[in-house]
Structure 1
Amino acid sequence: MSYDTVAGIILAGGRSRRMGQDKAGLEFEGVTMLTRVAGVVEQRCAPVLVAAPETSQAYRELSRESDLRWVTDEKQGSGPLGGLAAALAAAGAAGADVAFVCATDMPLIGTGLIEELLAGLTEQADAVIARDAQRDHPMAGVYRTRVAETLQALVDGGELRMTAAVEALDTRRVSVTDENWLTNVDAPEDLHRLRVGSVS
């Protein structure tokens, strides 16, 4: 099935406790992490939405650096699940039925990841998420915008786990052909490994 109109959602509202600073603004190969990820997502998706509260460092420091659309109305303290719910609602309001979702700390994503996830989306499925040899990656997936209300209900009920979204939806999993796409930068040592080219 072909999807010509796909929104992009970048989740950038995390507190980055292990990193010690906002990951969206980290420099990687001469640009911020957010700029790098957005540059890939923009090749396939429109509009591209960045979910981050107005109180976040990412929004305060990066919101004027690009033409990205910022979604700032997520419930305070609701984590990536709250950001996802708010951004899916905004993408649906913009006319998109499907959105590719990723985190701002995934600098090695490629458009091939988006295409492989879209290829796994069926009429019945609410979401398709990437899977590697170890685990699911709910923050690397495509989601129907119609599920925004379902996810918001989870958030309103106090749920914070992204895995709760996977459990609540009709979710398919795709084993991607390049697991480097799923590389996360969670801590300073992760960023160092990427900078010296030792992705594992």
Structure 2
Amino acid sequence: MSGVPSEEGARVPAGRVAGLAGVVLCGGQSRRMGRAKAWLDFGGEPLLARVVRRVAEAAWPVVVVAAPGQDVPALPAGVTVVRDAVEGQGPLRGIAAGLEAVAPHAERAYVSATDAPFLTPAFVRRMAALQQGFAVAVPHAEGHHHPLASVYGCAVRAEALALLAADRRRPFFLFEQVPTRVVSPELLLEDEALAAADPELWSLRNLNTPDDYAAALAAAGLR
């Protein structure tokens, strides 16, 4: 895709996983939050910019998938915004759009939601390592899967589009269809770097309501 920077032929910066891109979805309607999550202030920067910056420490290029006409805050240099042309089809459509955007430059991508203020690059790297040999690696914690904290091979876009065409919009349907590794918290924390950086796996913590936002700010020592 034109406009997405490539580092092909260049040395991969320390900390970035070769062949791994990043995709951050921000097109949700944020009904329970009552305002756009992308613009929530977190430590002096918009939440979307914070998450993109964290993802970019482990993956490149990074694209943000936004809704048509959606206003997004300023993002780090080199990050591209792509527009999901079909609204109302949920995260699977955004995942497919993001994979399409990065496919010319990477074999796989870490896909994140906007509302993950405690995401650590160590988590992204660990998920990338665990996805090796599988089409998808998805965490399963506290009784449910986390499709927006997962690594997807770019080749699964075709299956995602077929599911959307059949009106089967849940990411779980994709996990049923392609070779998927379901990752437990215990397996994640076998990695010493992740266990040191995020022993409680707060990388999986999302902000859905104003109370969630207030609690996250308090936990981070922010007003």
Normalised by the length of structure 1, the TM-score is 0.89
Q: In 2, Cα distance between the equivalents of 1:78 and 1:163?
A: 14
Compute the displacement of 1:73 (Å).
3.4
Matched-pair identity in %: 31
Query: Counterpart in 2 of 1:185?
Result: 207
Q: In 1, Cα distance between the equivalents of 2:63 and 2:128?
A: 18
Query: Counterpart in 2 of 1:117?
Result: 127
Highest CA radius of gyration, 1 or 2?
Answer: 2
Compute the displacement of 1:153 (Å).
1.4
Where do 1:124-139 residues align within 5 Å?
Answer: 125-139=134-148
Compute the displacement of 1:65 (Å).
4.4
Q: State which of 36, 60, 65 in structure 2 corresponds to 1:51.
A: 65
Where do 1:90-169 residues align within 5 Å?
Answer: 90-93=101-104, 95-123=105-133, 125-169=134-178
Q: In 1, Cα distance between the equivalents of 2:69 and 2:174?
A: 25
Compute the displacement of 1:165 (Å).
2.2
Report if aligned partners of 1:117, 1:128 keep a CA contact under 8 Å in 2: yes
**Which structure 2 segments of 5+ residues have no match?**
1-15, 190-198
Q: In 2, Cα distance between the equivalents of 1:61 and 1:110?
A: 22
Report if aligned partners of 2:66, 2:83 keep a CA contact under 8 Å in 1: yes
Q: In 2, Cα distance between the equivalents of 1:23 and 1:152?
A: 26
Q: In 2, Cα distance between the equivalents of 1:184 and 1:11?
A: 13
Normalised by the length of structure 2, the TM-score is 0.80
Report if aligned partners of 1:74, 1:83 keep a CA contact under 8 Å in 2: no
Q: In 2, Cα distance between the equivalents of 1:5 and 1:141?
A: 15
Report if aligned partners of 2:137, 2:182 keep a CA contact under 8 Å in 1: yes
- The secondary structure found in structure 1 opposite 2:161 is helix
Structure-2 change in CA distance of 1:128 and 1:147 (3 Å)? same
- The secondary structure found in structure 2 opposite 1:165 is helix
Query: Counterpart in 1 of 2:3?
Result: none
Moved over 3 A (4+): 64-67
Q: How many residues align?
A: 192
Aligned residues: CA RMSD? 1.9
Structure-2 change in CA distance of 1:100 and 1:61 (3 Å)? closer
Structure-2 change in CA distance of 1:171 and 1:74 (3 Å)? farther
Report if aligned partners of 1:106, 1:182 keep a CA contact under 8 Å in 2: yes
